[in-house]
Amino acid sequence: MQLQVEKSAPEVNHRERIWFFPNKFWAATKGMPVEEVSRLMEEVERYAEAKDLEALRKYPFVFIGDPYTKGRSAA
């Protein structure tokens, strides 16, 4: 008897994973007004949803790829 496994989710390209680091976000937004922090988070979420990797690379708290491999370069 053979068991067939159906793929329910599309395969993920590990080189284009979007990583968000909350501790870096809070450090980058320290002292910002609450409204500005909210707008920044909404902007980052829109870029992530659209998979606009080039736009996301400008944020120090976002990493594209696998942050746990050797020789990594931050986005």
Query: Domain ranges in the chain?
Result: 34-63
pTM of the model: 0.67
pLDDT for residue 26 is more than 70: yes
Tens digits of per-residue pLDDT, 30-66? 999 999 999 999 999 999 999 999 999 999 999 998 8
**Contact status, residue 62 vs residue 75, Cβ threshold 8 Å:** yes
DSSP-derived secondary structure letter, 11: P
Where is pLDDT greater, at 15 or 72?
15
Burial (CB count within 10 angstroms: exposed 0-12, middle 13-18, buried 19+), residue 49: exposed
- Among all chains, which residue has been given the structure tokens 């993920």? 12
Banded pLDDT at 3 (limits 50, 70, 90):
low
